[in-house]
Amino acid sequence: MWSEAWAQTAGSSGSSPNPALTIALQLLQFAPIFLILYFLLIRPQQQRQKQMDRMIKALKKGDRVLTNGGLYGTVVGVDDAKVVLRVADDVKLEFSKTSVVQVIGDAPEKEKK
């Protein structure tokens, strides 16, 4: 008796599937794609940005840096928004702090005047 009832309900293909269930299953298929995109693209970019922010906050006099324009210089002054770099003897240039892309290390002793 139970097998006959099961056969009748399982075999009835005349009714359409629940549209909410269909939509939920389709959205569930996209979840792994979103997770992959998050872990491969979004999260690493956020980590790089945090690392860059820490580097910029830690700038100090005497650091040798590289700007996004490819200019190497030694930090001689730092404030909240800008950094002053010595690029040659008696040549100092002002840059936005965000233009510094890499701290190379401390300047050699002869440059620290």
Here the CATH number for the domain that contains residue 76 is 2.30.30.100
Q: What's the pTM?
A: 0.64
What's the pLDDT tens digit per position in 36-84? Answer: 999 999 999 999 999 999 999 999 999 999 999 999 999 999 998 999 9
Q: Residue 15 has what pLDDT? A: 63
Q: Does residue 92 share a domain with residue 65?
A: yes
Cα gap 84→48, rounded to integer Å: 24
Domain assignment of residue 3, yes or no: no
Q: Does residue 66 share a domain with residue 105?
A: yes
Cα gap 23→34, rounded to integer Å: 17
Q: Residue 108 has what pLDDT? A: 64
Q: Residue 109 has what pLDDT? A: 60
Tally the domains of the chain.
2
Q: Residue 47 has what pLDDT? A: 95
Q: Does residue 46 share a domain with residue 25?
A: yes
Q: Residue 27 has what pLDDT? A: 87
Q: Does residue 51 share a domain with residue 39?
A: yes
Cα gap 85→102, rounded to integer Å: 13
- Average per-residue pLDDT in the chain? 85
Q: Does residue 102 share a domain with residue 66?
A: yes
Q: Does residue 65 share a domain with residue 48?
A: no
Q: Does residue 50 share a domain with residue 86?
A: no
End-to-end CA distance of the chain: 98
Residue 105 has pLDDT above 70, yes or no: yes
Domain assignment of residue 78, given as a range: 60-111
